[in-house]
Amino acid sequence: MDFAIVNGLLKRAPGKGLVHAPFALTPAPITPRDNHRIEELTAPFNRLVLALSRDIGFLGEVLAGVAESDGFTRDLLAMAAAREALQPLRLFLTRGDYFLQAGGAGEPPLIRQVELNTISAGYAGLAGRVNLLHRQLFAGTPQAEELIHNDPIGPISRGVSRAFGHYGHPEGCLLMIVQPGDGNIFDQRMLEIALREEGIEVERMTLEELAERGRLREGHLTVGGRIAAIVYFRAAYTPDDFTSPDTFRARGMIENSSAVSIPDIATQLAGTKKIQQLLAEAGTLEKFCLPPDAALLRSTFAGIYSMEEPIQGPEGSLPAWRAAMARPGEFVMKPQREGGGNNLFDDELRAALAGSSAEERRPFILMERIAPVTHTALLVKEGVAEETLCVSEIGRFGLLLAHGGEELLNVDAGYLVRTKPRELREGGITAGYGFLNNLCTASAQP
Ligand code: ADP
Ligand code: MG
């Protein structure tokens, strides 16, 4: 517990004050080959997001149906369409999330993408700290050799610093847009401190505060007279963050400024579940990627369906939503939301679909439920350790800097492992289900 606290593995919990973030004491095993295969996906997925985010016509067209039933998507689309293009520089901080699923006999596991986060991809800071924790705990033992090193904040802050240099106002700052009272504040502070070390001033504020203090001056977003060169979002991915018309105005002000936004709205929309589902349709992914990338990325797709499309199952051909009602345990129903806790499983899924209209179903997609490989782990929460049969979701951080369509930087920046008891359906740390963890090469399984 002392090591966890010394390393900053902390969060604020409502009513409890400062507590340690849940973590595992035993890393998740992976073969070096599978680890490499997952890492290799980051750059092509970033490239795909760049292509998508540059095609607002496509995003608008394919999200129009969802927007009819979902006000948040509608508002985002309207803001993206109204954007005055002032800034050819783009900076993405993404995180692709994956599970390993058992392959056939004698075959390596399948890599299955859960989703690609293009906004507020968190835990880069705490992931580095849980790595430090395990390095300290295992020092001098064979396990130390097998732990896979991880420090995402390093490459991320260096990449952000490069973008800051390209923007060309060294007196400017990075503006971090946060939720009021976010418990995961230390993860954000770790990036903030690393950026200061790079010579970048950081201002934190909520959308509400920006509405009060922000101004547009000659195309630049300014706070207290200082130019915001980069705006980094750790909020604004959920309608709950838009508490007033002022907050929408603040978001629009960012979008219509010269600030480099991580992300701009088009990039945010490129990461929606609906786009993920459409990319899985025959030929769509291939419009946005070169053939080798397309084949590689497609190999990670689980089944993912629009509600009404016919799918084949033991019942014959049924619209996907009817197949999901018949076999709810085999699907996950997802709305166009980020941040965890929004998906529907099992009985909730069935209850939501029973008696639903096509219009009510439209904002959702259905995804095949992935059955990840399991491992045992020692999980620590509120100071108590418990050995549990678990699954681990592996996230890969990616950083992309582009000028127009030209990539200036496109790199993998390290990983996040969230280990959770096998029977839990959702996996978020913030939502309270996941435990921060590391990867170790398979032979190091304790
Ligand atoms: P969010 O944007 O809210 O994070 P995700 O798509 O990442 O939504 O889903 C949240 C969690 O639900 C994941 O972290 C994972 O644990 C679980 N989950 C999502 N999709 C699947 C799936 N297809 N199979 C199994 N579990 C899933
Ligand atoms: Mg997720």
Q: Can you tell me the distance from the alpha carbon of 148 to that of 284, in angstroms, rounded to the nearest whole number?
A: 35
pLDDT tens by residue, 268-292? 999 999 999 999 999 999 999 999 9
CA of 226 to the centre of ligand 2 (A): 34
Identify any residues that bridge with 335 across adjacent strands, giving them in sequence order: none
**Any ligand 1 atom below 6 A from CB of 342:** yes
Q: Identify the pLDDT of residue 443.
A: 59
Q: Can you tell me the distance from the alpha carbon of 85 to that of 346, in angstroms, rounded to the nearest whole number?
A: 44
For residue 372, the ligand 1 atom closest to its alpha carbon is 25
Identify any residues that bridge with 379 across adjacent strands, giving them in sequence order: 24, 386
Percent of the chain at pLDDT exceeding 90: 94
Q: Which segments in the chain show pLDDT lower than 50?
A: 444-446
**Any ligand 1 atom below 6 A from CB of 272:** no
CA dihedral (225, 181, 426, 378) positive or negative: positive
Q: Identify the pLDDT of residue 446.
A: 37
Residue nearest to atom 19 of ligand 1 (CA): 114
The span from the first CA to the last CA of the chain, in angstroms, equals 20
Q: Can you tell me the distance from the alpha carbon of 390 to that of 143, in angstroms, rounded to the nearest whole number?
A: 20
**Any ligand 1 atom below 6 A from CB of 37:** no
CA of 389 to the centre of ligand 2 (A): 21
CA of 427 to the centre of ligand 2 (A): 8
- Find out whether 121 and 93 touch, Cβ atoms under 8 Å: yes
Q: Identify the pLDDT of residue 86.
A: 82
> Could you tell me the pTM of the whole model?
0.97
For strand 28-30 and strand 439-441, is the pairing parallel, antiparallel, or unpaired? parallel
**Any ligand 1 atom below 6 A from CB of 302:** yes
CA dihedral (10, 13, 18, 19) positive or negative: negative
CA of 95 to the centre of ligand 2 (A): 9
Q: Identify the pLDDT of residue 200.
A: 98
Residue nearest to atom 12 of ligand 1 (CA): 426
**Any ligand 1 atom below 6 A from CB of 339:** yes
pLDDT tens by residue, 409-438? 999 999 999 999 999 988 777 777 899 999
pLDDT tens by residue, 205-214? 999 999 999 9
Least distant ligand from the CA of 424:
1
CA of 121 to the centre of ligand 1 (A): 14
Mutate to test the pocket of ligand 1, among 99, 114, 334 (most ligand atoms within 8 A of CB): 114
Q: What's the chain's Rg over C-alpha atoms?
A: 21
Q: Identify the pLDDT of residue 429.
A: 76
Q: Which residues contact 327 (CB under 8 A, 6 or more apart)?
A: 313
**Any ligand 1 atom below 6 A from CB of 320:** no
**Any ligand 1 atom below 6 A from CB of 29:** no
**Any ligand 1 atom below 6 A from CB of 391:** no
